[in-house]
Amino acid sequence: QVQLQESGPGLVKPSETLSLTCTVSGGSISGYYWSWIRQSPGEGLEWIGYLSNTGSTFYNPSLKSRVTISVDTSRNHFSLRLNSVTAADTAVYYCGRSNGYGDYDYWGQGTLVTVSS
């Protein structure tokens, strides 16, 4: 059974970098699309970006200048970095596996990241 687990600091200071890792267990990280999606408290879902099955990355245009998604196949995990965070980046961050056509079959449980001094 594939499982995804987000990890990283739950508190980040304004202007600093948010870094999260999604560890994939029970399956290979190869051959799928790996996404980050976030949800601000009481708000809707926001697509951040994904790493495709060919290793290409695609990002939300509104976040593109601040976000990087990368993969470490040796550790079977992928990561999110979001620079220059503000309070508006406070959210639950989810990682997910999809087929590239919107069908997410596995999700992490989500991790709350709060941006505050």
Partner 1 sequence: QTVVTQEPSFSVSPGGTVTLTCGLTSASVSTDNYASWYQQTPGQAPRTLIYTTNSRSSGVPDRFSGSILGNKAALTITGAQADDESDYYCALYMGSGVWVFGGGTKLTVL
Among positions 61, 65, 88, 117, the unique one binding partner 1 when judged by CB under 8 A: 61
Does position 105 interact with partner 1 (CB under 8 A)? The reply is: yes
Does 102 interact with partner 1 (rule: CB under 8 A)? yes
- In the numeric block, which tokens belong to residue 85? 């965070």
101 binding partner 1? (CB under 8 A): yes
Map residue 89 onto helix, strand or coil: helix
Residues 40/91, Cβ–Cβ less than 8 Å: yes
Contact in structure between 92 and 43 (CB atoms under 8 Å): no
Minimal distance, residue 34 CB to partner 1, in Å:
13
Minimum CB separation from partner 1 for residue 108, in Å?
7
